[in-house]
Every structure is written in C-alpha cells, then in structure tokens.
Amino acid sequence: MDLNNNDYRKIVDYYKLNKPKNKSYKEVAEEALAGKLCRCIKKVKSDKINEKAAIALCRENIFKKRNIDFYNFKCKEKQKLVHKKNKTKKYLKKFSKNIGFNKTKRANKNKNKNKK
C-alpha cells in the first residue's frame, strides 16, 4: 500500500518539523526519514558492526517497527530515498492500514502534567 497525505502529515507532526510553503508534506517527511536513516547508519557503524548490519538495524528501528518500508536510499551526496526504477515514483510503502507514528504515552503524560 502507498502512504497517503495523512500518513505523511503524521510523520511530520511526530518529528515536530516545520513545513515550508514551497514543499509538500511528502517531501518534508521523506527528507526527514532519509536523513534519520543516514545519521543512524553512521552512528551505528563501527569496527564490530559492518555497514550491512548497521543498515539492517536502522531500517528495522526507523521503518519496519512503524509498518513502513522504502525501496532504496542514498547517503553519499544528498541524503534521499530512491524510488523503484521504471515502476513507480513512490518512495515509501506501508504494510498495514495504520502507521506507527503516534505520540507516545510518555509525551501525553508530560503534556497533561504541564496543564495542571
């Protein structure tokens, strides 16, 4: 399944990103997720953990636990997700109807404490 505009908006709201007027929620969300993936790979990669294992670990934590996945990515020049060649211009796909970018229980507790 493809992500819809509400899913992209949920991702942008989850990471508390500002959306410029000249970009869509889709572009902002994809840039944020690509940057997060590349930063994670760079931090995890070490002498004990090779790059393939770092990619697998970051892909699992950032994407798969939230029921979304990507086709391919680049981290060299500009961090970006890459679409499937000659098939579609979609960069992300989801496995179930809902994606896991909801506010956490801890965030909601802190929000309620601040109101009192």
pLDDT at 116: 58
pTM (2 d.p.) = 0.79
Q: pLDDT tens-digit profile of 75-89?
A: 988 888 888 776 667
User: Mean pLDDT in the chain?
Assistant: 83
Range(s) of the domain holding residue 44:
5-115
In the chain, at which residue ranges do the beta strands (DSSP E only) sit? 68-70, 72-74, 80-82, 92-94
End-to-end CA distance of the chain: 42
Total structural domains within the chain: 1
Q: pLDDT tens-digit profile of 86-113?
A: 666 777 778 777 777 776 655 555 566 6
